[in-house]
């Protein structure tokens, strides 16, 4: 697939087939994303793969409760616009995707957010190249239950940067309208 075609097929997918992604494919995509640039070539990213449906549901429930608690404590919280959706007991923040890959790293790394975000972009492009769908689920940064964090292997000194669901798309979303490039000025 040509790079420009790959860019056009990479979409945020929110409806998946009930079919597990082979672990070998997940490992290949993680390998691909380690070629992302990072500050000082620090490569601070780590990965947690969750494929257990019960654990995915527990993470979804915990994150929904955390977000609703946060909204209750701060009426101006940006997440308020999602409050109705988060209150729905049948809403799963992972859209019932079969797999979650959490990209995270040590909290004290200066450029962790940038480095892991670049790796996440590579991961999503690698998935699209293999016919898989992905969606960055920012809600999943809100895992607060310490037992659950321990069960899935999140070290205390690590920050979740990019929780990404991955699976075989049931529907391939169309490309939404794109804004103009936003070039402010051309000098020279």
The per-residue pLDDT for 180 is: 85
Q: Is the pLDDT of residue 38 over 80?
A: yes
pTM listed for this prediction:
0.93
Assigned architecture for domain 3-52+94-167: 3-Layer(aba) Sandwich (3.40)
The per-residue pLDDT for 36 is: 98
Q: Considering the chain, what is the average pLDDT of its residues?
A: 94
Cα–Cα distance between 9 and 109 in angstroms, integer? 33
Considering the chain, what percentage of its residues have pLDDT values greater than 90?
Answer: 85
**pLDDT, tens only, 122-161:** 999 999 999 999 999 999 999 999 999 999 999 999 999 9
Task: Check residue 12 and report its DSSP letter.
Answer: B
pLDDT band at 37 (very low <50, low <70, confident <90, very high): very high
Helix runs in the chain, H state only: 3-9, 23-33, 53-73, 83-87, 112-129, 146-152
Question: Which of 86, 163, 95, 121 minimizes the C-alpha distance to 10?
Answer: 121
List the chain domain ranges: 3-52+94-167
Cα–Cα distance between 169 and 153 in angstroms, integer? 27
**pLDDT, tens only, 71-126:** 999 989 999 999 999 999 999 999 999 999 999 999 999 999 999 999 999 999 99
Cα–Cα distance between 175 and 153 in angstroms, integer? 36
């Amino acid at each position: 697939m040509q790079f420009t075609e790959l860019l056009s097929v990479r979409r945020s997918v929110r409806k998946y087939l009930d079919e597990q992604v082979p672990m070998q494919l997940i490992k290949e995509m993680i390998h691909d994303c380690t070629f992302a640039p990072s500050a000082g070539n620090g490569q601070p990213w780590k990965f947690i793969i969750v494929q257990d449906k019960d654990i995915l549901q527990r993470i979804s429930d915990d994150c929904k409760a955390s977000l609703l608690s946060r909204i209750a404590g701060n009426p101006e919280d940006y997440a308020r616009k999602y409050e109705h959706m988060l209150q729905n007991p049948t809403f799963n923040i992972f859209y019932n995707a079969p797999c979650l890959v959490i990209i995270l790293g040590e909290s004290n790394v200066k450029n962790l957010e940038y480095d892991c975000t670049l790796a996440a972009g590579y991961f999503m492009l690698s998935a699209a190249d293999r016919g898989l769908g992905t969606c960055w689920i920012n809600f999943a940064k809100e895992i607060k239950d310490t037992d659950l964090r321990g069960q899935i292997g999140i070290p205390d000194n690590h920050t979740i940067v990019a929780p990404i669901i991955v699976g075989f798309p049931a529907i391939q979303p169309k490309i939404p309208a794109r804004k103009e490039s936003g070039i402010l000025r051309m000098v020279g």
